[in-house]
Chain A
Amino acid sequence: MSELTFEDVTVRFGSGRRAMTAVDRVHLTVPSGAVVGLVGESGSGKSTLARAAVGLTPVAGGRILLDGRPLPRAGRRPLQMVFQDPYSSLDPRMTIGSSIAEAIPRGAVTGAAGRRDEVARLLELVDLSADRAACHPAELSGGQRQRVALARALAGRPDVVIADEITSALDVSIQGTVLNLVRDLHRSLGLSMLFITHDLAVVRYVSDYIAVMYLGRIVEYGPAESVLADPQHPYTRELLAAARRPGREAVDTVPAQVAEAEPADPHHPPPGCRFHPRCPVGPLVHADRAVCRDTAPTGDGRRHRAACHFAGGAADRPGVPPPGDPGS
């Protein structure tokens, strides 16, 4: 298993007036054998980052490295991806066996029998019986399809698996089985994973590290328990406040200005810190914090970093990025 690194990665769509920077100079590391959970709302660029990693979307700037080396452009793909919608990610005309077999790298197994055995092994790995290989996707439930999609990703002998919202399209009673499977696979195979979701509770359940993305930028990154127990960025705190918690009353402690702020338009991101128009510790509430309006904050390169001038909510932190920060 290997370490996946995004170095200063930028992804742009369109050109001219409609140009949009979906991912803006992102630094992110998926350590070897670890699950990194990437959370953010729709339009934050988290899925674009995933698609860029597997080569579905061209990168406008920066590098994506595997163990320090650029990803190979041809041949075996060391990165595999599992998609959100299991109803669209399997070819309805193909048996699931041939869908999986297609992803087995050339030369990995020999002969038709070798392929069949490999498909059977992979199906059993995701808790499906081997005779399911002859089924078409229409014969399977959503949860089963998602497991087939996982098996197909594993067929490519990936170094890193990218899971993009793999439980959001599933019924609540099915989500648990897929999450359990992800955890089991991670433990038994030592998979490195980038696990993308909008749901902080799900991320908390499967991840070793958590990265929070907002409008194309990573605003906070750190070990899961540290980010959850001691969130530094106000956006992370907002996400945590909105997440499911047993028996919680609907209490709103956010200032009124913030509660009414509109979510930003990814086509026209605000200058400076992108969160400042709806930030409870920014210029909206604290008139003297003009720095947020014109200077983009950066992570400070520690184990647990947050891109906020006033991270941790402490008012005395300087707004000047420290030297050697990864964002510059």
Chain B
Amino acid sequence: MTSRARWAGVLRTPVGVAAAVLLGAVLLLAVCAPLLWGGRADEVDTAHILAPASAEHWAGTDNLGRDIFFRVLVATRTSVWLALLATGLGVAVGLLLGTAPLLLGPRLGRLVTAAVNIAVAFPGLLLALSFAVIFGAGASGAVPAIGLAIAPGFARLTQTLSATVAGRDFVAAARIAGVGRIRVLLRHVLPNIAEPLLVNATMAAGGSLLAFAGLSFLGLGVQTPGYDWGRLLGEGLNGIYLNPAAALVPGVAVVLAGLAFNLVGEAAAKAVGPRTATAPVRGASADGIAHGADLPAGQADAVLVVEDLTVSFGPVTPVRGVGFTLRRGESVGIVGESGSGKSLTALAVAQLIEQPGRVEARRLEFLGDDLLRTPPRARPRLLGTSLAMVFQDPMTSFNPVQRIGRQLAEVAEQHLGQRRGPALARAVDRLRAVRIPGAARRARQFPHEFSGGMRQRAMIGMGLMGEPKLIIADEPTTALDVTVQRQVLSLLADVRAADDVAVLLISHDLGVVEQVCDRVLVMYAGRFVEDLPVARLRDGARHPYTRALLGAVPDLATDRDQPLVVIPGRPADPAAPPPGCAFAPRCPLADDHCVRADPALVDDGSGGRVACWHADERPEPVLSAATEGEGR
């Protein structure tokens, strides 16, 4: 989405429209009111001094008999103008201070940053009061006072934002290309932070309007004979028992104007801020029924039975009817690219999909219990002790503010009814079981004191707090170094061998799956396209996607003189799966039939399943690498 379209998007929300209209009205009033009603506002009428609200004077009159309502309208210009002036000053100073670290280099920059940090800690009002002392009471003093009070906050925001952008690789690339500091700032940094800064400046304008009203209210802002809303409010408060309207009308004006600026800012912030991916609403897969051959029901040693599982988020269905069975002690890998739905399949099986996600299946049984019919809440103990999860990123999968030991012990307390002491002892024992040296000491440490590999082992240890029958490991080694990866995989293999635990391993890496699994399920665009024993993977793969995956990544036996296999095009968009075979647009074997009709996952009679109209056919060798994405 272009930035103009996004700003236009502000106007599409009801709040945005209301705020924009309100702001427009305030600005219009600021321009017109003094021209239209300037005379009436200054008209002295000694006959009606301090009159209460009436049909003639809607908000009553002041101590010179002037009409307060019109004075409030006319004061819009002064109030808004002074606020904008102060904001402009504050934003300018803030921008200068905020970009100083980029322009001055690290050493001077750090000094500026430190100064800004100290200033930011002091409330704006306090700064404004102090500056008001220096500049003297009056509008000309209050403008720099409020402007300078805004500056530190704005400087800090600019600093944070520009440091983020400056740390990104495209700025590094520009610097390597010899682009100078000022040019980097103007061409790369400022355009990328302009939107949040603009949003913030709008809100700052609202804030300084209110601050100005505050100063004038205290008598430190606009001085007689000038007047703004704050001054009118202060005068009105003295007579609040006689004529409440004299205080309330300027009060309402201040609130409305402040709200206008703030709401426009808020609406804009929503529009330009980090957006959650809004998937285009297109028809979900036309036919959601009966994909994958039915499995023989009721295997005695089945740990997990899944039939026709779908996961959907609104109109998008990233998992479109998958089925498989895991037997006791069996190890199955699901392989696919990002967006193929492999992780969602794992989370759905573990009953960890949160709203608005929806999980449906013809069968979803764990240890013979139907997980779909019984709400998961009713059986936390079964899942809590028999199903272990290992997630991809061990850095973020532990609660950072709780000790590792407690996080493990919690499971035993919750599901095994153990007290704190024995639960902690079990946690230490489990940490020892996953080969964590100095387990008792380590249990008292926080996650950030563990290395990545150790955390992943502790995560496996957490799963071992109960007596797991199934471990679901979602990319357990992707975030780890190769040498550490091996430790974790061999630990998984040991756990599996020791207690006959079934393992469902999710990975993008065929090599990892080969090391750990008996069977591999290849997933593409929310469906399984092939299911085969690992032993047959290298020379018995029948689906063109499986074969291409094997050739696309080099291993230690790849022929260095041959180009790698290329899979043209992009991975399928889960929001818009094609009607036929999802892989057809990238498949060298695809014909018209493939584009129209989606092949079912068919049992091949020898322990494998494949979903392809052209299984086993070999494509013409791909000669050119020049086609990636150009067709889309």
Contacts and interface: CB of A to CB of B under 8 A. Distances in A.
Given A127-B626, A179-B564, A252-B490, A102 B174 contact: yes
B553 A175 contact: yes
B611 to A, nearest CB: 18
Contacts of A153: 173
A81 B176 contact: yes
B555 A180 contact: no
Contacts of B338: 171
B630 A129 contact: yes
Contacts of A200: 482, 556
A143 interface: yes
B172 A249 contact: no
Interface size class of A (residues with CB under 8 A): 35 or more
Interface in A176-193: 176-177, 179-181, 183-184
Interface stretch (B129-137, B422-430, B565-573): B565-573
B511 interface: yes
Nearest to A167: B553
A205 B167 CA distance: 31
Given A79-B176, A144-B628, A179-B564, A42 B481 contact: yes
Contacts of B628: 127, 141, 143-144, 174, 177
A142 B172 CA distance: 19
Given A56-B175, A200-B556, A262 B454 contact: yes
A263 B482 contact: no
Q: Which of A74, A83, A200, A244 has the most chain B CB atoms inside 10 A of its CB?
A: A244
Interface string B504-523: 00001101001110000000
Contacts of B551: 176
Contact of A93 (B191, B553, B626): B191
Contacts, number: 201
A89 B173 contact: yes
Interface stretch (A60-68, A110-118, A234-242): A234-242
A228 B565 CA distance: 23
Contact of A241 (B173, B187, B337, B486): B486
A248 B173 contact: no
A247 interface: yes
A156 B435 contact: no
A65 B547 CA distance: 45
A73 to B, nearest CB: 11
B483 interface: yes
Interface string B452-465: 01100000000000
A250 B489 contact: yes
A51 B172 CA distance: 9
Nearest to A40: B481
B487 A204 contact: no
B185 to A, nearest CB: 13
A128 B556 CA distance: 30
B483 A204 contact: no
A149 interface: yes
Q: Which of B172, B174, B176, B516 has the most chain A CB atoms inside 10 A of its CB?
A: B176
Interface string B154-172: 0000000000000011101
B178 A76 contact: yes
B7 to A, nearest CB: 14
Interface in B484-538: 484-487, 489-490, 493, 508-509, 511, 514-516, 535, 537-538
A173 B552 CA distance: 6
A201 B552 CA distance: 12
Given A173-B549, A176-B552, A238-B483, A246 B177 contact: no
Contacts of A85: 169
Contacts of A263: 451, 453, 481, 483-484
Contacts of A244: 509, 511, 553, 555-556
A248 B553 contact: no
Interface size class of B (residues with CB under 8 A): 35 or more
B538 A173 contact: no
B576 to A, nearest CB: 15
Contacts of A241: 486
Contacts of B563: 176, 180, 183
B299 interface: no
A20 interface: no
B382 to A, nearest CB: 30
B171 to A, nearest CB: 8
Given A80-B176, A85-B169, A205-B558, A243 B482 contact: yes
B554 A202 contact: yes
Contacts of A92: 192
Contacts of B437: 260, 262
Contact of A239 (B174, B435, B482, B553): B482
B621 to A, nearest CB: 14
Contact of B557 (A238, A242, A245): A245
B489 A176 contact: no
Contact of B566 (A88, A103, A128, A180): A180
Given A172-B553, A176-B551, A181-B625, A250 B493 contact: yes
A314 B338 CA distance: 45
Contacts of A152: 173, 177
A241 B490 CA distance: 13
A28 interface: no
A258 to B, nearest CB: 10
B555 A242 contact: no
A102 B179 contact: yes
Nearest to A93: B191
B173 A81 contact: yes
B487 A259 contact: yes
A248 B567 contact: no
A41 interface: yes
Contact of A201 (B538, B555, B630): B555
Interface string B131-149: 0000000000000000000
Nearest to B515: A250
A265 B451 CA distance: 9
Nearest to A235: B483
B293 interface: no
Contact of A41 (B170, B188, B481, B586): B481
A310 B630 CA distance: 52
A222 to B, nearest CB: 16
A173 B485 CA distance: 22
B564 A141 contact: no
A91 B482 CA distance: 32
B449 to A, nearest CB: 11
Contact of B170 (A99, A198, A243, A248): A99
A260 B337 CA distance: 32
A14 to B, nearest CB: 12
B580 to A, nearest CB: 19
B629 interface: yes
Q: Which of A89, A94, A171, A252 has the most chain B CB atoms inside 10 A of its CB?
A: A171
B302 interface: no
B625 A249 contact: no
B608 to A, nearest CB: 17
A198 B478 CA distance: 12
Given A127-B626, A180-B566, 11 more contacts: A88-B170, A91-B188, A103-B177, A172-B552, A179-B554, A201-B553, A238-B483, A245-B556, A245-B557, A260-B437, A263-B451
20 contacts: A41-B481, A77-B177, A89-B169, A93-B191, A102-B174, A128-B630, A172-B337, A175-B553, A176-B551, A176-B566, A180-B625, A205-B564, A228-B556, A242-B482, A245-B511, A245-B555, A246-B555, A250-B490, A252-B486, A252-B490
Interface of A: 41-42, 51, 54-56, 74-77, 79-81, 83-85, 88-94, 99, 102-103, 105, 127-129, 140-141, 143-144, 149, 152-153, 155-156, 171-177, 179-181, 183-184, 198-202, 204-205, 228, 238-250, 252, 259-260, 262-263, 265
